[in-house]
Amino acid sequence: MPLPPLLAPLLREAFTVHDRLHLLDPAAFELIAPRVRGIAASGESKVGAELMDRLPALEIISVMGVGYDGIDVAAAKARGVVVTHTPDVLNDDVADLALGLMLAASRRLVAADRHVREGLWPAQGPMPLARKLSGARLGILGMGRIGQAIARRALAFDMTVAYHTRTPKPEVPYPHVASAVELARQCDVLCVITPGGAATKHLVNAEVMNALGPQGLLVNVARGSVVDEAALIEALEQGRLGAAALDVFEQEPQVPERLRALPQVTLSPHIGSATTATRQAMAGLAVDNLKAKASGQAVVTAVPEYKRVIQN
Ligand code: A2R
């Protein structure tokens, strides 16, 4: 992917930048590789051990995004390379989008827009009745920074909130549920906001979808890998799951035709953090991490794998 427009000028101002040279001109890349000290990556970037091995002077991989499941953190650690990300600054945007998708799916806002725009209103009369969101039971899968921001917004809609994580979070006032399936059974709307990666791959499987049921709504603003997309298509086609609202997909930017064909699905192209203000903040933090490392300071936001456990 090309450098994000808000990141490129900040990077070029402070560093010598080689934009995807390893892919675009491998011969030229070989010449500069021994001097590369940092990688600027996006949340979707893949940085594996093989690339790191070609960069002996590498000190830091700075991800502009909170999710860093494309980075081989163990390989980076083994080589003394720090990995940083941009948590917190995007909580509001992702949580806003989660609520937006819940509203869009429940009130069928995309179809409603079409109803007016395409002249169906005078031709066919009013739309079929939609589903009420206020007061619904919300299950949140993942109760970290963004999950908590989603929960706070849901309370303003008089929704009840429960959640599932591997370990209960004593700092939040919502009930912890022991499994994803049990959470799905107990809620009307299931919102996925865990990290991606191997540990959460297909956490939302057919069993979870069946538990959410024919009236249930699945919202995913996390990573496409967390939801079994093939199982999702089948559950929706067969009416075992009511509806889905998705910002992320397993093979972005490809979205299966069968999924796109379903009217009970609301889709957006991975825009969770895609506002100018938030992308500016993310770019600023990503560059601050690079600058800190380049000048021998402690980085601002290392990924949790680097945080030392301090024992009293
Ligand atoms: O399981 P815990 O106790 O580590 O809680 C974390 C939860 N989580 C999981 N829940 C269920 N099953 C799992 N296998 C699992 N792995 C992690 O997800 C925690 O409550 C939450 C993640 O929270 P944070 O680390 O604060 O992440 P944040 O900033 O809310 O972002 C979540 C994800 C990113 O990684 C991006 O992929 C996406 O949102 O945009």
Q: What is the pLDDT of residues 28-73, one digit of tens each?
A: 999 999 999 999 999 999 999 999 999 999 999 999 999 999 999 9
DSSP label at residue 62: E
User: What DSSP element (H or E) covers 243?
Assistant: strand 243-246
CB 272 within 8 A of CB 97: yes
Q: How confident is the model at residue 177 (pLDDT cuts 50, 70, 90)?
A: very high
Spans of all domains in the chain: 8-89+275-294, 91-267
Q: Round the average pLDDT of the chain to a whole number and report it.
A: 97
- pLDDT tens digits for range 243-284: 999 999 999 999 999 999 999 999 999 999 999 999 999 999
Domain 91-267 in the same topology as domain 8-89+275-294? yes
Neighbours of 293 (CB within 10 A): 22
- pLDDT tens digits for range 178-187: 999 999 999 9
- Catalytic status, residue 176: no
Q: Compute the Cα dihedral for 244, 67, 24, 9 and give only its sign.
A: positive
Answer whether residue 207 shows pLDDT above 50. Answer: yes
How remote is the CA of residue 141 from the centroid of ligand 1, in Å?
A: 8
Ligand 1 and 248: CB distance under 6 A: no
User: What DSSP element (H or E) covers 217?
Assistant: strand 217-220
- pLDDT tens digits for range 80-130: 999 999 999 999 999 999 999 999 999 999 999 999 999 999 999 999 999
Atom of ligand 1 nearest to the CA of 200: 14
As beta bridge partners, residue 210 has: none
- Rounded Cα distance, 136 and 77, in Å: 44
Neighbours of 127 (CB within 10 A): 15
Model pLDDT, residue 312: 39
- Rounded Cα distance, 240 and 18, in Å: 49
- Catalytic status, residue 44: no
As beta bridge partners, residue 84 has: 62, 302
What CATH number is given for 8-89+275-294 in this structure? 3.40.50.720
Model pLDDT, residue 2: 81
Output the CA torsion 252→188→192→271 (10° steps).
Answer: 50
Ligand 1 and 87: CB distance under 6 A: yes
Give domain 91-267's CATH architecture: 3-Layer(aba) Sandwich (3.40)
